[in-house]
């Protein structure tokens, strides 16, 4: 599982266009680097994802470096802020315990609700909730969505807009 945040938690991706750009770039780079996304949520100042790594998990650093560099350059060009730091850091956790994995899947799918942005995760276009509901086996979907996430320890002290 990965969480990344913007520098000083700035809301640099607050427009629909920028959210869509970051969302689509994350999905494209995950494919390019062989990461199989299982859940994702993109916000104005951070994102989360859960993925299955390729054989060389060290590619995560390369993928995120490219994602952060390319998205930062684009935003800085649009805002005429060359050299501005866009991204602060990312935190990754290797999930090895099945229940922890399933709880984090739910956490990420429902993160827009957690942040108070929507009443249902299915209403937030920059997360995986609809994709997960449409593509997963109904029994697996119900299992994941039944997990309690109030005790999940995820770095998420962001207040997106």
Nearest CA to 51 out of 68, 67, 28, 34 is that of 34
pTM of the model: 0.93
Asked if the model's pLDDT at residue 39 lies above 80, the reply is yes
**What average pLDDT does range 58-83 have in this prediction?**
97
Distance from C-alpha of 3 to C-alpha of 95, rounded to nearest angstrom: 13
Q: DSSP class of residue 9?
A: G
Distance from C-alpha of 52 to C-alpha of 74, rounded to nearest angstrom: 28
Helix (H), strand (E) counts: the chain: 6, 4
Q: Give residues with Cβ within 8 angstroms of 96, minimum separation 6.
A: none
Confidence category of residue 130, pLDDT binned at 50, 70, 90: very high
Nearest CA to 3 out of 161, 113, 160, 156 is that of 156
| 20-24 long-range Cβ contacts below 8 angstroms, 24+ apart | 20/125, 20/126, 21/71, 21/74, 22/47, 22/71, 22/126, 23/125, 23/126
Confidence category of residue 160, pLDDT binned at 50, 70, 90: confident
% of the chain with per-residue pLDDT over 90? 83
Asked if the model's pLDDT at residue 4 lies above 70, the reply is yes
**What average pLDDT does range 134-140 have in this prediction?**
96
Distance from C-alpha of 61 to C-alpha of 64, rounded to nearest angstrom: 5
What is the per-residue pLDDT for 60? 97
Rama region for 4: left / alpha / beta (φ>0; ψ in -120 to 50; rest): beta
Domains in the chain: ranges and CATH: 2-145 (3.30.70.1290)
């Amino acid at each position: 599982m990965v969480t990344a945040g913007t520098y000083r938690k700035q809301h640099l991706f607050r427009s629909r266009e920028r959210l869509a750009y970051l969302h689509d770039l994350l999905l494209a780079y995950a494919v390019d680097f062989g990461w199989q996304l299982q859940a994702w949520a993109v916000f104005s100042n951070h994102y989360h994802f859960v993925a299955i790594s390729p054989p060389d998990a060290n590619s995560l650093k390369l993928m995120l470096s490219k994602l952060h560099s390319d998205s930062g350059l684009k935003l800085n060009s649009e805002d005429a802020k060359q050299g501005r730091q866009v991204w602060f850091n990312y935190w990754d956790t290797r999930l090895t315990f099945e229940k922890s994995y399933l709880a984090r899947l739910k956490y990420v799918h429902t993160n827009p609700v957690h942040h108070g942005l929507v009443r249902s995760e299915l209403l937030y276009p920059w997360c995986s909730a609809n994709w997960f509901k449409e593509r997963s086996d109904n029994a697996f979907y119900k299992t994941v969505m039944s997990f309690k996430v109030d005790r999940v320890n995820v770095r998420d002290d962001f207040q997106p807009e």
